[in-house]
Amino acid sequence: MFKKSLTIFLIILFLGVGLAGLWYYQKNYYSKEILKIEILGPEYAQAGEEIEYLVRYKNNGNVVLENPELIFEYPRHSDNKELRWTKKVDDIYPGEEKSVKFRTRLLGKENEIVTAQSWLSYQPKNLKARYESKTTFSTQIKFVPLTFEFDLPSKIETGQGLQFSLNYFSNFDCELSDLRIKINYPDGFLFKDSSPQALEKTEWEIPFIFQASGGRIRILGEIKGEVGEQKVFRGELGIYKEGEIIVLKEVAQSIQIIEPALYISQMVNNSPDYIANPSDLLHYEIFFKNIGKISFQKKFLLVKLDGEVFDLGTLRSDKGESGPGDNSIIFDWKNVPKLSFLDAGEEGKVEFWIKVKEEDFSQEIKNPVLKDKILISEAEKEFEIKVNSKLVVWQKAYFQEEFFGNSGPLPPRVAETTTYTILWQLENYWNDLSNVKVKAVLPSNVRPTGKIFPEDAKFTFDPASREAIWNIGDVAAYQGIGKVPLTLAFQVALIPDLDQKGKTASLIKEVEAIGQDKFTQDILSSKFPELDTSLPDDETITGQQGIVE
């Protein structure tokens, strides 16, 4: 009897709990489908085009939706500074529909699909639970208004120098900033140089591009491969944002390795890697060798010169033809036997001479390069040589000057002190220099007094070696040329020896300026002769006043 009563009690208890749970569930139940949220926008768009998203939401239920919070997330590659927008909106009453507009510019490459998202969280009236409804909308980028292409030859011989460019042009209706261009080179390509300079050889920064403007990246290198092999160059142009590149345009172009027929090489002043100096006479020897299997007959060889510091008026060749001031030379097979007939394995040579300009300050040339392009049959080869800057030093000595005010007997007398001012001046031409120093040895009876101008100049004197040094450091191109020479003045004291009586006394030995050319890496040097008490630069001193008494 007891067991039966207990069973009935438990059944009633379970039914009560179940009914209570059902009542609580029905009281708190709310379907998220009652709130409809959607994003309206274009299915297709042009990259960079301003578009509008409309987020629309409606309460299809019969209770008020309280404390709603709307979140909109722009597509990942948008030009907005903040990709997520969050705002608390007004309560949404039954049947009420609202909308919010969002504007942006989409970024990405052609055919890329970008997605916007939106969430609305809320609390139905009289319920404690919060609900969230979500929606997405995708847009396909159909067109990117950018021209981005390689300028590459279709064929090339293995081991040959390769100069190509990557051109870009924008038709965006807005300015683009923080751009990056990246190139993936094929195996066998050796990067040598580029203009503008690259980041780690494969990447370039483009600060900005205006509408209807563009630019070009020039790359110099060398490529090797098997005959018939296709070498593929790939490029990307994008916007650098938050540590990653948003790719806008991609390009790929292949170049085929072909069997060489003519090998072209050259020597300048008997060197394959010559670095020229201002006023140099350059002797060009151009060699062409038939490394194919068939002979060449009746060919012309053309040389085109390109360089601002070529002195074209000095161009001459025994067998080549060029007009006055021309920048090209033509070698005719009628004048050059090896151009008339060049059998397999044979080599021919042509030569010409031209000078480098002494100086050219009509325009500021910096880091000058002398290029020559050689064309013969279908073969083409371009060479270039760098040109050193020119470092010039002078030294002058004065008794009458405005720096320190010299003293002592004039003419100088044996065993008595007379002071003089030494002036060092420096000129630098086309390239920046580093580690520039000017140095000279003082005679045993001459010492610096410690007076220098400018006072902060790095001037030192070693009593043991008697060497005076002016440590300048970096010298920019064209520094010292014009109205503001690079100058150091320092005072020295002379006490003439007895054996100098009746003669001029040496004040300072030959001066030498040295420095490294940052462009060519060559060490440059300039010298100026020693000075004595005759003071050729001091117009106030007569010849007799330089003779020791």
Q: Where are the domains of the chain?
A: 33-143, 146-258, 262-386, 391-546
**146-258 belongs to which homologous superfamily?**
Immunoglobulins (2.60.40.10)
Place of tokens 């540590």: 243
CATH code linked to domain 262-386: 2.60.40.10
Residues pairing with 468 in the sheet? 440, 461
Q: In the prediction, which pLDDT does 2 show?
A: 47
Q: Which helix (H) or strand (E) holds 527?
A: strand 523-528
Q: For residue 173, what pLDDT is reported? A: 80
Contacting residues for 421 by C-beta, under 8 A, at least 6 apart: 397, 398, 399, 401, 403, 404, 406, 489, 490, 491, 492
How many Cα atoms within 13 Å fall on the side-chain side of residue 177? 2
> Buried b vs exposed e over 478-499: b needs ≥16 C-beta within 10 Å?
bbbbeeeebbbbbbbbbbbeee
β-bridge mates for residue 204, sequence order:
181
Here the tokens at position 380 are: 């083409």
DSSP 22: H
Architecture of domain 391-546: Sandwich (2.60)
Q: Which residue has the tokens 């050889």?
A: 201
pLDDT tens digit sequence for 233-255: 999 998 888 778 888 899 999 99
The count of residues in the chain is 549
> What CATH topology corresponds to 33-143?
Immunoglobulin-like (2.60.40)
Name residues of the chain where pLDDT drops below 70: 1-32, 360-363
Please report where in the chains the tokens 């207990």 appear, as a residue. 6
Report DSSP letters for 149-186, one per residue.
EEE--SEEETTEEEEEEEEEEE--SS-EEEEEEEEEPP
**Contacts of 348 by beta carbon, 8 Å cutoff, 6+ apart:** 287, 288, 289, 336, 337, 338, 339, 342
Query: Are residues 146 and 62 in contact, defined by beta-carbon separation less than 8 angstroms?
Result: no
Rg (CA), the chain: 41
- Closest by CA position to 87, among listed 65, 68, 59: 68
Half-sphere exposure of 299 (CA within 13 A, CB side): 22
Q: What is the pLDDT of residue 15?
A: 52
- In angstroms, the CA 152 to CA 233 distance is 9
Three-class DSSP labels, 477-519:
CCCCCCCCCEEEEEEEEECCCHHHCCCECEEECCEEEEEEECC
Contact present, 51 and 30 (Cβ < 8 Å):
no
How open is the CA angle 484-275-438, to the nearest 5 degrees?
A: 40
pLDDT for residue 25: 39
In this structure, what are the phi and psi dihedrals at residue 293, rounded to the nearest 5 degrees?
-110, -5
**pTM of the predicted protein model:** 0.56
Residues in CB range of 548: below 8 A, 6 or more apart? 411, 412, 413, 414, 496, 500, 501, 502, 503, 504, 505, 533
428: Cα separation from own chain's centroid: 24
d(C-alpha 46, C-alpha 141), whole Å = 6
Please give the full DSSP string across 32-44, using - where no structure is assigned: GGGEEEEEE--SE
User: DSSP string covering 439-461, please?
Assistant: EEEPPTTEEEEEEEESTTS-EEE
Q: b vs e for 336-351, b when ≥16 Cβ sit within 10 Å of the residue's Cβ? A: bebbeebeeeeebebb
Q: Are 3 and 9 in contact (CB under 8 A)?
A: no
End-to-end CA distance of the chain: 152
Q: Do the domains at 33-143 and 262-386 have one common CATH topology?
A: yes
In the three-class reduction of DSSP (H, G, I as helix; E, B as strand; rest coil), residue 211 is classed as: coil
What is d(CA 83, CA 317) in angstroms, rounded to the nearest whole number? Answer: 68
